[in-house]
Amino acid sequence: MFAKQSDYKARLTVAPEQVLVEFPLSPIFSLPGEAEFPSPPALTHSLFHLELRLADSVCDLQAITRIIRNDVGLTAQLLRLAARTIEESPSKISAINEIVVDAGVQNVAALVAHTRSLPDRLTRHAGGNAAERFWMHARLSALIAEELAGQSSKVGQEEAYLAGLLFRLGDLPSVLGWEAVGSTTANSREVGVRMAKAWGFPRALTDVISGDRDICGVHGSLALLDIATDADIWASRLESLAEREYEARR
Residue 164 lies in a domain: yes
Expressed as residue numbers, the domain containing 201 is 128-249
- Which amino acid, residue 198? A
Which residues on adjacent β-strands are paired with residue 21? 12
- Which amino acid, residue 241? L
Which residues on adjacent β-strands are paired with residue 12? 21
- Distance, in Å, from the CA atom of 50 to the CA atom of 61, rounded to the nearest integer, reads 11
pLDDT in tens, 68-120: 999 999 999 999 999 988 776 666 899 999 999 999 999 999 999 999 998 86
pLDDT value for 44: 94
pLDDT in tens, 125-150: 444 488 989 999 999 999 999 999 99
Phi first, then psi, for residue 225 (nearest 5°) are -65, -45
pLDDT-wise least confident of 15-29, 37-51, 177-191, 231-245 = 15-29
| Pair (103, 195) in one structural domain | no
31 closest CA partner among 98, 63, 103, 79: 79
pLDDT value for 60: 94
pTM strictly above 0.95: no
Q: Which of 114, 143, 161 represents a domain boundary (last residue)?
A: 114
Q: Which residue has the higher pLDDT, 147 or 123?
A: 147
| Pair (37, 93) in one structural domain | yes
pLDDT bin (cut points 50, 70, 90) of residue 179 is confident
CATH number at residue 156: 1.10.3210.10
Question: Do 110 and 78 contact (CB within 8 A), yes or no?
Answer: no
| Pair (108, 157) in one structural domain | no
Number of Cβ within a 10 Å radius of residue 94: 20
